[in-house]
Structure 1
Amino acid sequence: MNLLGSPHCLLALSTLLTTLASSALAGKILVFPVDGSHWINMDLLIKDLHHRGHEVSVVRTSTSWYVKEDSPHYKSITVTLPEPISIEDQDFFVSFLNKMLKIQKSGGSPLATMQFYWQMLTALSEIHKEASQLVVEMFENPVLMQQLFEACYDVALIDPGLPAGVLVAHKLGLPTVFNVRWITSGEAHSVVASSPASYVPASGSALPNRMSFIERVKNMLYYVLNTCIDQFTVFPVYQELVAHYFGPETSFKHLLQATDIWLIRSDFVFEFPRPTMPNFVHIGGFQCKPSKPLPADLEEFVQGSGEHGVIVMSLGTLVKGLPTEITSEIAAGFARLPQRVIWRHLGERPQNLGNNTRLVEWLPQNDLLGHPKTRAFVAHGGANGVYESIYHGVPVVGLPLLFDQFENLLRLEMRGAAKALEVTKLDSQSFYTALQDVLHRPSYKDNMKRLSRIHHDKPAHPRDSAIYWIEFVMRHKGAAHLRTESYKMPWYSYHSLDVLAFLLLLLVLTVAGAVIFTTRLLCVRLCRTQKSKLE
């Protein structure tokens, strides 16, 4: 009997060969995450890498509230900092949001706005000073550094929102992969790729890609502002460490620009078209997945909505709750609807809450958005929620609160798939009207379904692409052939100012020579004419 011909033996042999191949290609990965919602994205990659047989080590601080010390998917390297990083305190964002809402509600006087932004810049500087101490604590711990060197990692996977890991990876001589959308200077493209201010909106500008003259002026001012924040608030913190540990000739900005692969958490189905680079891999929506069945009690509530369906509301992981006067207006708007509402709410119970609305402390957002009875998503506009709504084709009513949420919802609005409202000007009528518009005007659903079809039409799932490129860097010890060396050029050479100056000088000399030659020729002819007349 031919045992090798048995289907069971062939399957077992195939499984064995796959396992052996995975083990042979398995490597060691050093991960530097950022806490909060960023960790949710990084954790997905870590689980996939662990599943493929890689050994993953995660550097975390002792005060981290999302990155746990014990995990079946990674080994933790816990570092105790002199002071906790502010953003690892959940109350930090609550306080930040309350200050911003207070300014917006008061009419946003120039003085109050300037004071707020000054406080914000001061807080930003402090956050980076606190985060930079991770480098000091690691470099000044010879036992830890010896262990890291002896571990012989193959690659460093870094979220450069807090870029301490960039310095550690450079010290260890590791190739690097960034899991990134936002970096110290704003959107990741701005660090390496060309970003023409004429049609690429600057971070924080909340402008479209088709701008009027006044909007282009505003955009240029935002570019200048972002550059100044980088040069005077963020870069000095890390440049001081770079100069101390690597010498004054090493540039922190160059360390950022020298990364091998950028896993960009964006997709051009959502982002505005712009120049990009060959080592930029776009993995927007990589956290999205098909929905799973809901818990029994939630499924019963959803099914009870009948033909009207349900509305899902969530404001993300960082915001515990809005002020009661705002949530009460939202509750009153919901109460007027025939749809049922599932609202993730952690703050004080709002007034005017209708019988159709169910408050929960946690909800399976992806599974609810993928449910056939879900009609709309009321969201703050965080990137994860936006991509999940695109993935499942659910139109959005947006309540932007912080950071990039205004820009995210602007992009969806321009594609006709969302309607955004100002939270501080919200009342029950305007909220109800927006919901009615999104629920009953077919264009919102149709446009979101179109975006969903485009988003799904890919040769590979974004998570598979991310894992492929991480392993690519491991196999080839980097990806220098995809990386531009333009960052090593002086700024005047990068912008070809020296070439323009040379050509301008050449033009001036040519014109001057032509003028001198013509003048001399005219003088000679004039002299000859006068001489002939005298004769």
Structure 2
Amino acid sequence: MEIIVRALHSQGHAIDVVRTNISWYIKDDSPHYKAITVPVLRTFNHDFINPIIQKVIATKRDFSSSISSSFMNFVSLQLEMFKSMSNMHGIMCELVTTMLEDEELMITLKTNNYDLVLTDPALGAGIILAHALKLPLVYNVRWVTSGEGHLAIAPSPLSYIPITRSGLTDKMTFMGRVKNVIFYAIWETQDRFFIRPQYQAVCERFFGSEVRYRHLLQGADLWLMRVDFVFEFPRPTMPNVVYIGGFHCKPAKPLPEHLEEFVQSSGEHGVIIMSLGTFVSELPDDMADEIAATFAKLPQKVIWRYKGKRPATLGNNTLVVDWMPQNDLLGHPKIKLFVAHGGTNGVQEAIYHGVPVVGLPVFFDQFDNLLRLQERGSAKILTLATVDKDDNFLKAIQEVLNDPSYRMNMQRLSRLHRDQPMKPLDTALFWIEFVMRHKGAAHLRTESYRLPWYSYYSVDVVLFLTGAPLFLLLNTVIFIRCLCKAMSKRKVKHE
């Protein structure tokens, strides 16, 4: 979001950013925006996410070949995700309630004459705030509160649209389609019973029962979707969905001196970089030791972003850092491989710079993101259950390094991604300003979300079209039978 805020500021726009007093990322002072700070008692931060990550890792490592054990692990993981998601959205409902109850704050926001609200609909506070302020709504979106963004707005046939966490592609067998429907039901259950009621309660309290949260979510003017079809499987979409995948990617800048020196020392073998993202700051000690031991066997140099306990098996070829300029490293000509968790940002940066991937997905969409790369021949996926067994990690790295097809396929994706009439960030800026100029984009927005499900799927029409002829046929049969009976009686009398 900060990248879009900086770009809007460079175009001369004034931006106010609503943040909490214990915000994870957002500073209370910046030359690019003015912060509006809302006091809260709890928020979404490392203290909230770390226990979830640790439990997910432990559950995945407990994977068993036994069907019953695997099923129980799956159920345990789903229940943990239900609980975590419910708590997270509860925090967001507390935030927006605090804002709406603050009369002075709301008067200030209403008198500031904003042009629009820009928010990420994975969390619903911005959606409700936009309705309260009666402003056009623009999404910077990959996820909504109920799952992947497309599912909330575009037709999504389950026969070839894989649901997140299903581990499926757009080519499904019969059992794959069964699995896909089951995962869709899981997402719907989570949304209908654990998430949506919390936001709906806020809507009813402040706006009345006629305002439906789901309608507010689906009624945004513009959806800036953080994927493109180099990465995403082909699927139906809508006129107000604009694709800006890779908008945060840019040409590499020179590395800091100490990193450049380390990279150049790799010689002809090159460098591997590894990062499991912001959420996963550390791994179980034995797993970290196995990963470090694997790196020590390689001729390549390794830069590993890791904040956990220093592995005992760390080799001289491995540099462990708290932070690294990931985009700049991926764009360096000596980088041979990216070991990644599969977050959307990292995957898009790997595509932009043409660097093949060995994936270690942890949770949520990460396996699905990596699967899209693996299907295109540019990545190899390992599970946490197998990464430290039978030299699987070493074999995967050597396969991707030694088989030139992985790099060739990723560089092909890079060429496709870059071959666009406008840079994705410029596209995003154009459409945001479009909404500003025209006070919304109602002409691009479908009204289908206001239809009840039986109207959307034309169930009532089908029932009418099948029922009316059947009714007519039944009446005709009854009429003929009555006529026959009447004629039969008349004949008996006559005789």
TM class, shorter-chain normalised?
Answer: over 0.9
Q: 1:164 aligns with which of 122, 125, 135?
A: 125
- The offset of 1:222, in angstroms, is 1.1
- The offset of 1:301, in angstroms, is 1.3
- The offset of 1:519, in angstroms, is 6.6
Q: 1:457 aligns with which of 383, 399, 419?
A: 419
Q: Which residue of 1 aligns with 2:27?
A: 68
Aligned pairs (5 A) from 1:86-125: 87-88=44-45, 90-107=46-63, 109=69, 110-111=71-72, 113-125=74-86
Q: Which ranges of structure 1 fall in alignment gaps of 5 or more residues?
A: 1-41
Contact 1:156–1:177 (CA under 8 A) maintained in structure 2: yes
1:384-436 deviation per Cα after TM superposition (whole angstroms, max 9, x unaligned): 10000000000000000121101001111111100000122222711111111
- The offset of 1:98, in angstroms, is 1.5
1:110-144 deviation per Cα after TM superposition (whole angstroms, max 9, x unaligned): 44543443233223222212211122211111111
Does structure 1 residue 80 correspond to structure 2 residue 36?
Answer: no
Does structure 1 residue 487 correspond to structure 2 residue 449?
Answer: yes
Distance 1:511 1:344, change over 3 A: same
| C-alpha separation in 1, matches of 2:76 and 2:420 | 46
Q: Which residue of 2 aligns with 1:23?
A: none
1:276-318 deviation per Cα after TM superposition (whole angstroms, max 9, x unaligned): 1000011111100000111122111111111111111111111
1:44-97 deviation per Cα after TM superposition (whole angstroms, max 9, x unaligned): 00000011110100000001121010111000000011x212x22x13322112
Does structure 1 residue 466 correspond to structure 2 residue 428?
Answer: yes
Contact 2:116–2:436 (CA under 8 A) maintained in structure 1: yes
- The offset of 1:510, in angstroms, is 4.3
Q: 1:341 aligns with which of 302, 318, 336?
A: 302
Distance 1:524 1:457, change over 3 A: farther
Q: Which residue of 2 aligns with 1:287?
A: 248
| C-alpha separation in 1, matches of 2:92 and 2:394 | 43
Which moved further from structure 2: 53-62 or 502-511?
A: 502-511
Paired letter, 1:399 = L
> SS at the partner of 1:332?
helix
- The offset of 1:514, in angstroms, is 5.9
RMSD of equivalent CA atoms: 2.1
Aligned pairs (5 A) from 1:374-413: 374-413=335-374
Contact 2:61–2:384 (CA under 8 A) maintained in structure 1: no
> SS at the partner of 1:425?
coil
Does structure 1 residue 185 correspond to structure 2 residue 146?
Answer: yes
Aligned pairs (5 A) from 1:502-517: 502-512=464-474, 515=477
- The offset of 1:509, in angstroms, is 2.7
Contact 2:136–2:440 (CA under 8 A) maintained in structure 1: yes
| C-alpha separation in 2, matches of 1:113 and 1:509 | 49
- The offset of 1:223, in angstroms, is 1.1
> SS at the partner of 2:358?
strand
Q: 2:230 aligns with which of 269, 274, 278?
A: 269
Does structure 1 residue 136 correspond to structure 2 residue 92?
Answer: no
- The offset of 1:521, in angstroms, is 9.2
Contact 2:263–2:334 (CA under 8 A) maintained in structure 1: yes
| C-alpha separation in 2, matches of 1:220 and 1:190 | 13
Q: Which residue of 1 aligns with 2:463?
A: 501
> SS at the partner of 1:423?
coil
Q: Which residue of 2 aligns with 1:308?
A: 269
Paired letter, 1:195 = S
| C-alpha separation in 1, matches of 2:63 and 2:136 | 49
1:438-482 deviation per Cα after TM superposition (whole angstroms, max 9, x unaligned): 001111111101111110011101100111111000000000000
Contact 2:19–2:36 (CA under 8 A) maintained in structure 1: yes
1:481-503 deviation per Cα after TM superposition (whole angstroms, max 9, x unaligned): 00001111122111101100101
Normalised TM-score (structure 2): 0.94
Q: Which residue of 2 aligns with 1:355?
A: 316
Q: Which residue of 1 aligns with 2:325?
A: 364
Contact 1:378–1:399 (CA under 8 A) maintained in structure 2: yes
Aligned pairs (5 A) from 1:209-248: 209-248=170-209
> SS at the partner of 1:312?
strand
1:312-343 deviation per Cα after TM superposition (whole angstroms, max 9, x unaligned): 11111111111111111111211111111111
> SS at the partner of 1:262?
strand
| C-alpha separation in 2, matches of 1:123 and 1:60 | 21
Normalised TM-score (structure 1): 0.87
Contact 2:130–2:136 (CA under 8 A) maintained in structure 1: yes
Q: Which residue of 1 aligns with 2:14?
A: 55
- The offset of 1:243, in angstroms, is 0.8
Contact 1:93–1:319 (CA under 8 A) maintained in structure 2: no
When Rg is computed on C-alpha atoms for both structures, the one with the higher figure is 1
Which moved further from structure 2: 43-52 or 290-299?
A: 290-299
Q: Which residue of 2 aligns with 1:43?
A: 2
Q: Which residue of 2 aligns with 1:9?
A: none
> SS at the partner of 1:347?
coil
Contact 2:8–2:429 (CA under 8 A) maintained in structure 1: yes
- The offset of 1:146, in angstroms, is 1.0
Identity %: 53
Q: Which residue of 2 aligns with 1:39?
A: none
Which moved further from structure 2: 472-481 or 104-113?
A: 104-113
